[in-house]
């Protein structure tokens, strides 16, 4: 699997699936979750309600339509909220593993990921970057490209610096 980094808006990525950093309720929210729901339109929320009437557990993943997004699917994951005391790194790793498993189930070969839990959930940015790279390096998946999407330049620079095979 090729791991790439881009600076930009995850809702504009032309990939098979975008990963949404959702909350347990799966009904939209702030940050990446709010942006995906706004850009995807009401179809995303309708599918969340139909497919996940009780939401998702922290560390788990599931898919819905992408509605009006350029992607075909949204893979929703629920990252740990460090600010609420959820400090188990295994839950963060599980988000990335489960997202790849779901991607394989739906046939997604290109997947755009945000840095899960790195925003309002307060996960330290250096570990929020290290976690997906650790999972991607060990993954047995048919996904051909895992794209880490950083909204701002400073985060993008940190992701690029952490990518494997980078020559200094």
Report the sign of the C-alpha dihedral through residues 99, 163, 37, 11, in that order. negative
**Rg for the chain, CA atoms, rounded:** 14
CA distance 63 to 77: 9
Query: Across-strand partners of 76?
Result: 20, 62
CA distance 63 to 85: 27
CA 132 → CA 50, 94, 118, 138, 151, distances in Å? 29, 10, 12, 10, 16
Active site residue 33: yes
Of the candidates 33, 60, 88, 127, the residue annotated as catalytic is: 33
- Mind giving me the DSSP string for 35-80? HHHHHH-HHHHHHHHHH-TT---TT-EEEEE-TTSSSSEEEEEE--
Q: Which residues are catalytic?
A: 33
């Amino acid at each position: 699997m090729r791991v790439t980094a881009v600076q930009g808006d995850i809702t504009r990525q032309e990939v098979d699936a975008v990963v949404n950093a959702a909350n347990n309720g799966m009904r939209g929210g702030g940050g990446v979750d709010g942006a995906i729901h706004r850009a995807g339109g009401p179809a995303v929320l309708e599918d969340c309600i139909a497919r996940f009437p009780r939401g998702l557990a922290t560390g788990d993943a599931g898919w819905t339509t992408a509605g009006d997004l350029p992607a075909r699917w949204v893979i929703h994951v629920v990252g740990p909220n460090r600010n609420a005391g959820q400090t188990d790194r295994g839950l963060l790793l599980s988000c990335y593993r489960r997202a790849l498993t779901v991607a394989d189930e739906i046939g997604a070969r290109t997947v755009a990921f945000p840095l899960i839990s790195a925003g309002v959930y307060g996960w330290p940015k250096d570990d929020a970057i290290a976690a997906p790279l650790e999972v991607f390096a060990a993954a047995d998946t048919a996904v051909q490209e895992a794209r880490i999407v950083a909204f701002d330049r400073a985060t993008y620079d940190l992701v690029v610096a952490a990518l494997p095979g980078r020559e200094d």
